[in-house]
Amino acid sequence: MTSTERVMAALDFRPPDRIPLYDGYWAEFEAAWREAKGLGPEMDIHDYYGVDISIAVGDEGLCPSRAETLEQTDRQTIRRDSWGRVIRTVTGGYFYEQLESAVTCPADLDSLAIDPPDLPSRYAGLDEGMSALKERYCVFAKVGGPFIRTQFVRGEVDFLCDMAADPAFARELAFVVGRHLIRVGLEELRRWDLYGTGIWIFDDMASNLGPMFSPRTADEVLVPVWAEMVEAFRAAGARKVILHSDGNIGPLLDRFIEIGFDGINPVEPKAGLDVVALRKQYGERLALLGGLDNAHILPRGDLAEVRQHVRRLVEIGQEGGLVAGMHSVGADIAVETYDEVVRLLRSVGKS
């Protein structure tokens, strides 16, 4: 099977030739892997381990044409990004501080600048390489979701406060953002012809303990927007719509199935999500993409424990419904441990 055939078979609950794999690798793990294997830069780690999925996303910000650097020094960079935020990044750092938001009050909605979804600069560098990417991977389009992206526009704390104190405004703003994301997602599906695979909505919304808002608040503010997004992508012909969120989204799973999501990722054991239990509960109503424990089991490196852990996944995944992975493979996981994980996923699947 090709990667596309393998992944889509699994998502359709048909037996793949082996359990599909979807992982990303920290630079530190990749460096340790190259050293352990004696490999140079010409070898791609995703090819080596047989990663099956690639996620393609353009610049989905509201207004890329207005993005600009406001200040650059040896210590920091301050810039206005495509979401209209002013953010500060320390030189050499990854995370940022949000200094200003595009929407500070309801009146700002009337003057919110939004570039068209087909703006060429949104997809610079992606259009040219898409054919080759589709030959190697099962490629999905990607957009953010109304929770995380509305935070970009409003600010994390302010949007959470809106959801609690002014849910009508929070819902209106989330719809503005969500409908923009629909337009971008539809353009990605069209220009890259990804209808046969589909689209992922990335909407991190939970800690290890649970969602950052109550199910009641979700129903009032976010569920209508998620539902509109899924319906729009499905109506356009997207074969699968997958939800990505770190953390424990268990309290919302029934809603996500009712909305029409086909699967969830990354199904984190550290957040209390167990693929075996979820399969028993939801059967073929929900595909599971993830399930490997990158917080406890794999970092300990006990190969007997690792084998037991992976075989539980293979047992439910060899007939379909599972794409194995852990979202990110960090420096605390030994190369030998990860090699064993991949060996088991390759050797126990359907031939």
Domain edge (last residue) among 101, 126, 148: 101
Three-state DSSP class for 211? strand
156 and 67 within one domain: no
What is d(CA 192, CA 127) in angstroms, rounded to the nearest whole number?
7
CATH for 180: 3.20.20.210
Q: Find residue 98's DSSP bridge partners.
A: 87
171 closest CA partner among 222, 231, 218, 219: 222
First-to-last alpha carbon distance for the chain, in angstroms, is 10
Question: What's the pLDDT score for residue 307?
Answer: 97
263 and 215 within one domain: yes
181 and 67 within one domain: no
What is d(CA 207, CA 117) in angstroms, rounded to the nearest whole number?
32
What is d(CA 302, CA 310) in angstroms, rounded to the nearest whole number?
12
Question: What's the pLDDT score for residue 351?
Answer: 39
Question: What's the pLDDT score for residue 348?
Answer: 61
323 and 214 within one domain: yes
81 and 32 within one domain: no
What is d(CA 345, CA 189) in angstroms, rounded to the nearest whole number?
30
249 and 145 within one domain: yes
116 and 79 within one domain: no
| Local confidence pLDDT in tens for the 351 residues of the chain | 999 999 999 999 999 999 999 999 999 999 999 999 999 999 999 999 999 999 999 999 999 999 999 999 999 999 999 999 999 999 999 899 999 999 999 999 999 999 999 999 999 989 999 999 999 999 999 999 999 999 999 999 999 999 999 999 999 999 999 999 999 999 999 999 999 999 999 999 999 999 999 999 999 999 999 999 999 999 999 999 999 999 999 999 999 999 999 999 999 999 999 999 999 999 999 999 999 999 999 999 999 999 999 999 999 999 999 999 998 999 999 999 999 999 999 986 443
174 and 75 within one domain: no
Domain that holds residue 116: 3-62+109-347
167 and 47 within one domain: yes
Domain edge (last residue) among 71, 101, 131: 101
CB 270 within 8 A of CB 246: no
74 and 204 within one domain: no
187 and 95 within one domain: no
Number of domains in the chain: 2
What is d(CA 268, CA 255) in angstroms, rounded to the nearest whole number?
19
236 and 92 within one domain: no
